[in-house]
Amino acid sequence: MSRQHAALAPLEAFDDEAAARIETLFTDIDDTLSDEGRITSRAFDAMWRAHDAGVRVVAVTGRPAGWCDHLARMWPVAAVVGENGALCYAMIDGAIQRLYAERPADAAERLAAIERDVLAEVRGCKVAADQPFRLYDLAIDFCEEVPRIDDAGVRRIVEVFERHGATAKVSSIHVNGWFGQFDKLSMCRRAMQELFDVALDARCVYIGDSPNDEPMFAAFEHSVGVANVRDLADYFQTLPRYITRGRSGGGFAELVDHLLSARR
């Protein structure tokens, strides 16, 4: 069921009885946990508090496989879903478990053609600095390490991906594109079932900020946007059920506070 922007409810509308039942917290990273590219002490402390309270924390991101391996080892998370659902890494019993989506054999060659066309047709963007650590997708930076390009430029990047038959999703910093039938939601479902025997149901909540979170917002009974979700509202068809007062990491900490206070 699609939820319209005007219908976003304040986080306080997430009633205590439902919040107290949450066992798994799925969270985006960039501009949901991070503020201007860094994880604040408040957000990281909130992640640890959720972990220590017995809430399973799962990071769900467009960031590359190389980052995800590190995060799965070093952060207080049960798993990391990366490259917009291409893979999942989880540290279980002292060893990394890895799941991967399927992709066409010629995906790398086709993405190289897209890269050439994007850079030729859209001024001001560049291939993302984290591209060398990616396995499945192509990330085009439109504001992380370049001056922000306008909305028309971002839409043009998406159009180039789609012209080549790729899936393209806009995050708060990149346009990510890939070949293959996967997204954040499909890998979360698979990983939770295969690794933890957990269904995505009313005991789960998702928090995010950008259009690549839409499949999660649409599927989760309990979905939350940090306040900056409004910044990209024009790119959404489906928005989260609730919205925090705080932006980015402050909004994430606000959700954790709400979940843990409901348990008392």
The rounded mean pLDDT for the chain is 95
Residues 97 and 188 in one domain: yes
Asked whether residue 233 is assigned to any structural domain, the reply reads yes
Residues 141 and 231 in one domain: no
pLDDT at residue 62 greater than cutoff 70: yes
Please give the pLDDT value at position 7: 66
pLDDT at residue 42 greater than cutoff 70: yes
Tell me the CATH number at 164.
3.90.1070.10
Domain boundary among 178, 211, 241: 178
Q: Please give the torsion angle defined by the CA atoms of residues 36, 42, 48 and 49, in that order, rounded to the nearest 10 degrees.
A: -140
Of 32-36, 78-82, 155-159, 235-239, the one with minimum mean pLDDT is 235-239
Please give the pLDDT value at position 4: 46
Residues 196 and 130 in one domain: no
* Token pair of 125 as six digits: 């963007």
Rounded alpha-carbon distances, angstroms, from residue 247 to 21, 235, 254: 25, 18, 10
Residues 174 and 237 in one domain: no
Residues across the chain: 264
Asked whether residue 189 is assigned to any structural domain, the reply reads yes
Residues 22 and 97 in one domain: yes
Domain boundary among 178, 209, 241: 178
Instruction: State pLDDT tens for residues 153-182.
Output: 999 999 999 999 999 999 999 999 999 999
Residues 26 and 93 in one domain: yes
Instruction: State pLDDT tens for residues 187-232.
Output: 999 999 999 999 999 999 999 999 889 999 999 999 999 999 999 8
The closest alpha carbon to 196, from 81, 36, 67, belongs to 81
Asked whether residue 11 is assigned to any structural domain, the reply reads no
Q: Which residues contact 155 (CB under 8 A, 6 or more apart)?
A: none
The closest alpha carbon to 61, from 124, 13, 128, belongs to 128
Residues 186 and 174 in one domain: no
The mean per-residue pLDDT over the stretch 3-12 comes to 72
Asked whether residue 226 is assigned to any structural domain, the reply reads yes
Asked whether residue 134 is assigned to any structural domain, the reply reads yes
At position 248, the amino acid (one-letter code) is: S
Q: Which residues contact 201 (CB under 8 A, 6 or more apart)?
A: 221
**How many structural domains is the chain composed of?**
2
Confirm if 242 and 231 have CB atoms less than 8 A apart. no
Residues 49 and 76 in one domain: yes
pLDDT band for position 6 (cuts 50, 70, 90): very low
Residues 33 and 71 in one domain: yes
Asked whether residue 5 is assigned to any structural domain, the reply reads no
Is the full-model pTM beyond 0.75?
Answer: yes
Residues 80 and 124 in one domain: no
Tell me the CATH number at 206.
3.40.50.1000
Question: Is residue 190 exposed (0-12), middle (13-18) or buried (19+ Cβ within 10 Å)?
Answer: middle
Instruction: State pLDDT tens for residues 233-258.
Output: 888 889 999 999 999 999 999 999 99
Residues 115 and 132 in one domain: yes
pLDDT at residue 260 greater than cutoff 50: yes
Expressed as residue numbers, the domain containing 29 is: 17-101+182-262
Domain boundary among 178, 203, 235: 178
What is the end-to-end Cα distance of the chain in Å, rounded?
32
Asked whether residue 10 is assigned to any structural domain, the reply reads no
Residues 24 and 85 in one domain: yes
Question: What is the residue whose two structure tokens read 């995010």?
Answer: 208
Asked whether residue 4 is assigned to any structural domain, the reply reads no
* Token pair of 134 as six digits: 């990616």
